[in-house]
């Protein structure tokens, strides 16, 4: 940690001791969220999420393909994340690094473990042809908490997805006219906390991420269960902090879910 | 092939491999078994067979990665192609890259990296055979390899998963329980500092179940911690006797 970062950490930690943050929020305040859906016409589904100044675009593409041998009756879901160099001076061109891979895998875990998409309904011919859903996360501006922004954008894009009607005719995959929505059955929301000098703050932005010693993400399903967790960073948490995070995450998730899912 | 009807937990509460709900797999630990490495350790936990080796602190390559105020910890978790049922490509998978990252981040809080500025500590974890819970066994054995390398540490770190299988909370899931179960929560814990340095979860748990599962895995970590200390004693008491002779 450079000395400038250390000075900043001291400043942020002192503020947090008074329950305040550099950008004026309180410890359990989320930044303003904006969700736009269906902004890429060529994609089957798409969404852009603005979380403060963090901006993430997710596009969904659907293709016919082969199932995995261990799940012959289920469609395939894959998540990839690109930290494109235009999003931050710290991002470099090249294949996904460990941060991009972790981001994609945490987004994937929330969607997969909550069974957000009913993959059995994406099977065309058991063991031979299924639909493959590609979720591509494109980070456009990095101002902290990429996990929550990406998970929300991915969910919004899935909700927005209209897929072509595929049918099997004489062993061939045929595309019929018309579109149907993806078979959605759950709506996971990821909530991340940063830990700075022993204190927790929800939705850490870039200045806080640079000085935080660890983060904890929990993905919460529509019925309030936890479906994915990831701890990151080189610090640690006490058990009390972990249980505190789970309770606040559960509350926040149901608020944020309303932005994407109209009950 | 097991029949589709076969249960993972019997009516008497005994699991498929004969364990009770709160029982660890039979575990064997050895320390200092690779002569070239500065520190090494080997663990067998059930059918998991994992080697860990530490090189360093030594000069960093490439040099620009060096930090002026501390050592850097680098970690590679890797599975042998023959460690699983279907041959695994030896190229690092996305899963292995994520695990390398979370394992590194779980061990870093225990190491006094500031004692060795401008150096690196390189940690290699090779999974020779995998049968569920390899990230946890990997952390447990890696912490011992670091200790064997003589690197100053705040405490050992022990890791163990707990999860939910057929509606019951169980400790230290094997591969079959992990794949067919409802949830898996790997935890790394350091008893002296009483903090959690790795926490992941997949599956579905209510908040109450989650609390119980974390507490169950902490019990497993404490048992493994005792085995870790015992293994270090066995190695270094033996060395001391040799020196005394």
State the Cα–Cα distance between residues A182 and B25, nearest whole angstrom: 42
Q: Identify the pLDDT of residue A263.
A: 62
Say whether B95 and A105 touch across the interface (CB within 8 A): yes
Q: What is the mean pLDDT of residues A223-243?
A: 97
DSSP codes, chain A: --HHHHHHHHHHHHHHHTTB-TTS-BTTPPPPEEEEE---TTSSEEEEEEETTEEEEEEEEEEEEPPPTT-TTS-EEEEEEEE-GGG-TT--SSS--HHHHHHHHHHHHHHHHTT-B-GGGGEEETTTEEEEEEEEEEEEE-SS-HHHHHHHHHHHHHHH-EEEEEEEETTEEEEEEEEEE--B----EEEEEEEETTEEEES--HHHHHH-SEEEEEEE-TTS-EEEEEEESS--B-HHHHHHHHHHHHHHHHHHHTTT---
User: Which chain A residues touch B190 with a CB distance below 8 Å?
Assistant: 236
Q: Identify the pLDDT of residue B5.
A: 55
Q: Identify the pLDDT of residue B2.
A: 47
How many A/B residue pairs have CB atoms within 8 Å? Answer: 94
User: The CATH number of the domain where B201 resides is what?
Assistant: 3.30.230.70
Q: What is the mean pLDDT of residues B145-157?
A: 97
Query: Average per-residue pLDDT in chain A?
Result: 95
Say whether B196 and A230 touch across the interface (CB within 8 A): no
- In a domain, residue B241? The reply is no
Q: Which of A104, A234, A235 to mutate to test the interface with B (most CBs of B within 10 A)?
A: A234
- In a domain, residue B184? The reply is yes
- In a domain, residue B22? The reply is no
* Sign of the torsion formed by the C-alpha atoms of A37, A41, A46 and A51: negative
Q: Identify the pLDDT of residue A75.
A: 96
Q: What is the mean pLDDT of residues A22-36?
A: 96
- In a domain, residue B40? The reply is yes
pLDDT over threshold 60, residue B3: no
Q: Determine the residue of chain A that is closest to B210 in CA distance.
A: A226
Query: Token pair 């350790």 is at which residue?
Result: B41
Q: Identify the pLDDT of residue B1.
A: 43
Question: Smallest CA–CA separation between B238 and chain A, in Å?
Answer: 34
- In a domain, residue B16? The reply is no
Say whether B69 and A1 touch across the interface (CB within 8 A): yes
What are the pLDDT digits (tens) for B68-126?
Answer: 999 999 999 999 999 999 999 999 999 999 999 999 999 999 999 999 999 999 999 99
Say whether B196 and A1 touch across the interface (CB within 8 A): no
For B195, list phi and psi in degrees, rounded to 5: -130, 160
| Closest by Cβ to B200, choosing from A230, A235, A239 | A230
Say whether B205 and A225 touch across the interface (CB within 8 A): yes
For B210, list phi and psi in degrees, rounded to 5: -60, -45
Work out the percent of chain B whose per-residue pLDDT is above 70. 98
Domain of residue B119 covers 27-236
What are the pLDDT digits (tens) for A56-70?
Answer: 999 999 999 999 999
Q: Determine the residue of chain B that is closest to A243 in CA distance.
A: B211
Say whether B199 and A237 touch across the interface (CB within 8 A): yes
The domain over range A11-257 is classified in CATH as 3.30.230.70: yes
Beta bridge partners of A77: A133
Cα torsion B209, B214, B216, B219 to 10°: value is -170
Q: Identify the pLDDT of residue A262.
A: 78
Q: What is the mean pLDDT of residues B45-66?
A: 96
Say whether A239 and B196 touch across the interface (CB within 8 A): yes
Quick check: B124 and B78 in contact, CB under 8 A?
A: yes
Q: Identify the pLDDT of residue A67.
A: 96
Q: Identify the pLDDT of residue B105.
A: 97
Say whether B98 and A105 touch across the interface (CB within 8 A): yes
Q: Determine the residue of chain A that is closest to B212 in CA distance.
A: A243
Say whether A225 and B204 touch across the interface (CB within 8 A): yes
User: Which chain A residues touch B110 with a CB distance below 8 Å?
Assistant: none
Say whether B102 and A250 touch across the interface (CB within 8 A): no
User: Which chain A residues touch B95 with a CB distance below 8 Å?
Assistant: 105
State the pTM of this model: 0.93
Q: How confident is the model at residue A1 (pLDDT cuts 50, 70, 90)?
A: low
- In a domain, residue B62? The reply is yes
Query: Average per-residue pLDDT in chain B?
Result: 95
Quick check: A22 and A143 in contact, CB under 8 A?
A: no
What are the pLDDT digits (tens) for A109-156?
Answer: 999 999 999 999 999 999 999 999 999 999 999 999 999 999 999 999
- In a domain, residue B222? The reply is yes
| Closest by Cβ to A234, choosing from B108, B200, B204 | B108
| Closest by Cβ to B201, choosing from A104, A226, A250 | A226
pLDDT over threshold 90, residue A77: yes
What are the pLDDT digits (tens) for B171-212?
Answer: 999 999 999 999 999 999 999 999 999 999 999 999 999 999
Domain total in chain B: 1
């Amino acid at each position: 940690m450079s000395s400038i970062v250390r000075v900043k950490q001291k400043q942020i930690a002192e503020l947090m001791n008074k329950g305040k943050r550099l950008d004026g929020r309180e410890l359990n305040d989320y930044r303003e969220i904006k969700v736009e859906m269906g902004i890429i016409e060529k994609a089957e589904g798409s969404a852009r999420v603005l979380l403060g100044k963090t901006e993430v675009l997710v596009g969904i593409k659907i293709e016919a393909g082969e199932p995995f041998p261990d799940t012959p009756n289920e469609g395939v879901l894959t998540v990839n994340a690109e930290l494109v160099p235009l999003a931050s001076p710290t991002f470099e061109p090249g294949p996904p690094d460990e941060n991009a891979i972790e981001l994609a895998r945490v987004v994937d875990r929330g969607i997969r473990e909550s069974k957000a998409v009913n993959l059995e309904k994406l099977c065309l011919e058991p063991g031979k042809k299924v639909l493959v859903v590609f979720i591509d996360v494109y980070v456009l501006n990095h101002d902290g908490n990429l996990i929550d922004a990406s998970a929300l954008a991915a969910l919004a894009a899935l909700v927005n997805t209209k897929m072509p009607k595929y049918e099997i005719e004489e062993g061939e995959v045929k595309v019929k006219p018309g579109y149907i929505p993806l078979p959605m059955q759950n709506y996971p929301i990821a909530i991340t906390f940063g830990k700075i000098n022993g204190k927790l703050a929800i939705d850490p932005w870039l200045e806080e991420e640079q000085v935080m010693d660890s983060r904890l993400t929990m993905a919460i399903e529509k019925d309030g269960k936890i479906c994915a967790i990831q701890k990151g960073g080189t610090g640690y948490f006490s058990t009390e902090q972990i249980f505190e995070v789970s309770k606040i995450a559960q509350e926040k998730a149901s608020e944020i879910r309303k932005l994407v899912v109209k009950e | 092939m097991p029949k589709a009807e076969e249960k993972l937990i019997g009516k008497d509460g005994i699991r498929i491999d004969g364990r009770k709900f709160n029982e660890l797999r039979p575990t064997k630990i050895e320390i200092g078994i690779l002569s070239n490495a500065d520190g090494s350790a080997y663990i067998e936990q059930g059918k998991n067979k994992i080697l860990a080796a530490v090189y360093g602190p030594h000069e960093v390559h490439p040099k620009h990665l060096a930090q002026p105020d501390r050592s850097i910890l680098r970690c590679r978790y890797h599975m042998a192609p023959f460690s699983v049922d279907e041959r695994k490509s030896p190229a690092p998978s996305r899963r292995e890259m994520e695990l390398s990252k979370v394992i590194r981040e779980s061990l870093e809080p225990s190491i006094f990296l500031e004692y060795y500025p401008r150096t690196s500590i390189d940690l290699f974890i090779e999974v020779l055979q995998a049968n569920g819970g390899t990230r946890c066994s990997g952390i447990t054995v890696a912490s011992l390899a670091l200790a064997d390398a003589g690197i100053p540490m705040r405490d050992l770190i022990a890791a163990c998963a707990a999860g939910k299988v057929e509606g019951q909370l169980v400790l230290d899931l094997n591969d079959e329980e992990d794949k067919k179960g409802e949830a898996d929560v790997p935890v790394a814990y350091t008893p002296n500092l009483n903090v959690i340095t790795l926490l992941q979860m997949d599956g579905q748990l209510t908040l109450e179940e989650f609390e119980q599962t974390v507490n169950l895995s902490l019990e497993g970590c404490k048992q493994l911690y005792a085995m870790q200390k015992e293994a270090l004693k066995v190695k270094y008491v033996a060395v001391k006797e040799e020196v005394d002779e």
